[in-house]
Structure 1
Amino acid sequence: MKLILTQEVTGLGAPGDVVDVRDGYARNYLLPRGFGIRWTRGGQKQIDEIRRARKARDIRDLDSAQDLAERVQKLSVRLPRRSGQGGRLFGSVSAADIASGVREAGGPELDKRRIEVRNPIKSVGEHRVTVRLHPEVTATISLEVVPA
């Protein structure tokens, strides 16, 4: 099924991209969440409009994204979590938890969808998390999970 992406989807594309995905992935995930719309010939006008808006926003946001990356990398985020013996957490630390921890540490408001947690954080200690602030700018957050 051909779709026009309306939001950035990791590993698939950026807003305005036309992608060809399996029918089930489109029907069950992308379309209900508003990540894409069905591609039609008339949709080409929408594609051009989305790309034009994205290009203007990207140029304007590149400098602010670099400034934001510097601010975020200077932060030291501490997240208290309940843990058992050996420092193993009850559950894991989610992207939403990290976003709220950054905000509480005096950092900016981050979108949880832009926080990339490669391996689930399930133990106490130091961890590194990547944040995509812009297609060309990423920042690394130093995260310390401490027992509560």
Structure 2
Amino acid sequence: MQVILIKDVDNLGQAHELATVKSGYARNFLIPQKFAIEANPTNLKVLNEKLKVKAKKEAALLAQINEVVEVLKGSPVKIGAKTGTTDKIFGRVTSLQIARAIKEQKGYELDRKRIAIPEEVKEIGLHKATIDFGNGNITEIEFDVVAE
């Protein structure tokens, strides 16, 4: 029996996928628990429409991500830090500081949890960080630490 999954089911599939299962498993577990619905022609049409809408949303989101990436790669973000006499900064640069600098200088608000700094930044100069936008969209940006 073919069913359309409404929710993710372990060892079976993801939501909005077509799955072939034994009829007893579908009638006694998947359908009553609201994990799936029967794959009749009406439900298949609804599924196709949902997939089309989802594809359009993903395309629009990808276009926005590409726009943000181009702006971020245009010029490095400047981050001010208090320094000693040897160009070493007090403390270190964090993802929160990078997120705030991107919001102030570029106008885009990013979640600080999506920003990863590969090594500790404790000196003035040009450094790199990576931003994970989700769905495998990862980009590397540069930021410049300057003395305040």
Question: Helix, strand or coil: the match of 1:90?
Answer: coil
Counterpart amino acid of residue 140 in structure 2: T
Counterpart amino acid of residue 139 in structure 1: T
Change (3 A) 1:127 1:141: same
| Structure 2: distance between partners of 1:107 and 1:118 | 24
User: 1:69 touches 1:133 (CA, 8 Å); kept in 2?
Assistant: no
Q: Structure 1: which 5+ residue stretches go unaligned?
A: 1-15, 19-40, 46-51
* TM-score scaled by length of structure 2: 0.58
Counting matched residue pairs gives 104
The aligned residue for residue 138 of structure 2 is: 138
What is the Cα deviation at residue 78 of structure 1? 0.9
Larger Rg: 2
Moved over 6 A (4+): none
Q: C-alpha deviations, 1:46-103, integer Å up to 9, x for none?
A: xxxxxx9xx9364542222122211111132111101113211111111010001111
The aligned residue for residue 39 of structure 2 is: none
User: 2:95 touches 2:117 (CA, 8 Å); kept in 1?
Assistant: yes
Which structure shows the higher strand fraction?
1
| Structure 2: distance between partners of 1:118 and 1:71 | 22
Q: CA RMSD in A?
A: 3.0
* TM-score scaled by length of structure 1: 0.58
| Structure 1: distance between partners of 2:9 and 2:68 | 26
User: 1:58 touches 1:134 (CA, 8 Å); kept in 2?
Assistant: no
| Structure 2: distance between partners of 1:98 and 1:17 | 38
- Percent of residue pairs identical: 23
Question: Helix, strand or coil: the match of 2:65?
Answer: helix
